[in-house]
C-alpha cells in the first residue's frame, strides 16, 4: 500500500482555510481520491473534547503553558487515532490547521513560548505535513469574515486586529523557515480563484490530479 499525503491549511482566523479545505476535499473526492477532511484542535473524539476546553469558556482559566499542553494533547490524540491510520491506508489527509498554528498562537500570543512549542513537538508529535498551504490574508478583512460567523469559539478572534497582524507576519516568516513544505496563497480573492491555486500547489504531490 502506498503512503498517503498529508496536507495542512494555515493562516489567520477568517482567511478561508475551512472553506478551502472543504472545497479541496470535494474536488479530490470527485476525482476518485480517498480523502479525510479533518481539523485542529479536534479531529478525533478525544481531541474534540479538548477543543471545547480551549476554545470555550474563560480563556484565562489556563496559563499559557497549560494551554500549550492541552493543544499538544489534542494533537497527539488526533495523530494517533485519525491522521496516522489514514496515511497508512494511503489516504489524503486534509487538515484545517496543524502544528504551525501552535508555533504561532501558543508560541507568540502570550509571551515567547516558541522554544517550548518546538521541544514538545519533537517529543510528542514529530510529524510535519507533506505540504502546508498558507492562505495569506489582510487581517482586517479576515477578522470581518471571522466575526460574521458568530460561533461560541472565539478564543483568539477576540484579541483583535493587532494580534492577527502579528500572526500574519509570523506565518509568512514560518513559510520562509520551512520553504520545502510551505506554499503561500493569496486569500484576498474569490473562493474559486483561491481554490484553483490550492489545487495547482498540490499537483506536484498528486501527479494524477487534474488541477
* Segment 94 to 153, residues that bind ligand ADP, using CB under 6 A: 145-146, 148-149
- Report the partner that residue 105 touches, choosing among ligand TYD, ligand ADP, none (CB closer than 5 to 8 A by kind): ligand TYD
Counting contacts by CB under 6 A, is residue 18 touching ligand ADP? Answer: yes
Q: Supply the minimum distance, in Å, between the C-beta of residue 116 and ligand ADP.
A: 25
Burial string for 103-132 (b: 16+ CB within 10 Å, else e) reads bbbbbbbbeebeebbeebbeeebeebbbbb
By the 8 A CB rule, do 35 and 157 touch? Answer: no
**CB of residue 188 to ligand TYD, shortest distance in Å:** 16
Which residue, 192 or 207, has its beta carbon nearer to ligand ADP? 192
Selected binder of ligand ADP within 8, 10, 14, 41 (CB under 6 A): 14
Q: Stretches 16-24, 105-113, 158-166, 178-186: which one binds ligand ADP (CB under 6 A)?
A: 16-24
Q: Taking the complex as a whole, how short is the minimal distance between the CB of residue 197 and ligand TYD, in angstroms?
A: 19
Looking at the Cβ atoms of 28 and 47, the one nearer to ligand TYD is 47
CB of 43 to ligand TYD, least distance (A): 10
Binds 102: which of ligand ADP, ligand TYD, none (CB < 5-8 Å by kind): ligand TYD
Reduce the secondary structure of the chain to three states and give it as a string. Answer: CCCCEEEEEECCCCCCHHHHHHHHHHHHHHCCCCEEEEECCCCCHHHHHHHHHHHCCCHHHCCHHHHHHHHHHHHHHHHHHHHHHHHHCCCEEEEECCHHHHHHHHHHCCCCCHHHHHHHHHHHCCCCCCEEEEEECCHHHHHHHHHCCCCCCCCCHHHCHHHHHHHHHHHHHHHHHCCCCEEEEECCCCHHHHHHHHHHHHCCCCCCCCC
Q: Is residue 15 near ligand ADP by the rule CB under 6 A?
A: yes
Name the packing angle between helices 45-55 and 64-78 (round to 10°): 160
Query: Which of ligand TYD, ligand ADP, none has residue 163 at its interface (CB below 5 to 8 Å by kind)?
Result: none
Kindly state whether residue 17 participates in binding ligand ADP, applying the rule CB under 6 A: yes
Q: Restricting to residues 175-194, name those near ligand ADP by CB under 6 A.
A: 190-191, 194
- Binding residues for ligand ADP (CB under 6 A): 11, 13-19, 145-146, 148-149, 190-191, 194
Amino acid at each position: 500500500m502506498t503512503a498517503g499525503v498529508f496536507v495542512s491549511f494555515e493562516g489567520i482566523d477568517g482567511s478561508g482555510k475551512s472553506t478551502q479545505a472543504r472545497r479541496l476535499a470535494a474536488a479530490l473526492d470527485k476525482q476518485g481520491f480517498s480523502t479525510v477532511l479533518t481539523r485542529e484542535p479536534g479531529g478525533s473524539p478525544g481531541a474534540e473534547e479538548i477543543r471545547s476546553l480551549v476554545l470555550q469558556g474563560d480563556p484565562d482559566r489556563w496559563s499559557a503553558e497549560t494551554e500549550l499542553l492541552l493543544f499538544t494533547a489534542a494533537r497527539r490524540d488526533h495523530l494517533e487515532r485519525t491522521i496516522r491510520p489514514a496515511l497508512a491506508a494511503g489516504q489524503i489527509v486534509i487538515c484545517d490547521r496543524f502544528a504551525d498554528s501552535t508555533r504561532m498562537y501558543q508560541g507568540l500570543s502570550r509571551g515567547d513560548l516558541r522554544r517550548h512549542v518546538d521541544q514538545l513537538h519533537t517529543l510528542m508529535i514529530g510529524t510535519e505535513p507533506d505540504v502546508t498551504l498558507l492562505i495569506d490574508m489582510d487581517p482586517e478583512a479576515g477578522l470581518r469574515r471571522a466575526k460574521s460567523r458568530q460561533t461560541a469559539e472565539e478564543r483568539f478572534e477576540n484579541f483583535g486586529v493587532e494580534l492577527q497582524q502579528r500572526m500574519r507576519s509570523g506565518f509568512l516568516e514560518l513559510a520562509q523557515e520551512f520553504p520545502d513544505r510551505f506554499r503561500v496563497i493569496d486569500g484576498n480573492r474569490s473562493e474559486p480563484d483561491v481554490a484553483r491555486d490550492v489545487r495547482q500547489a498540490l499537483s506536484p504531490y498528486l501527479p494524477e490530479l487534474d488541477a
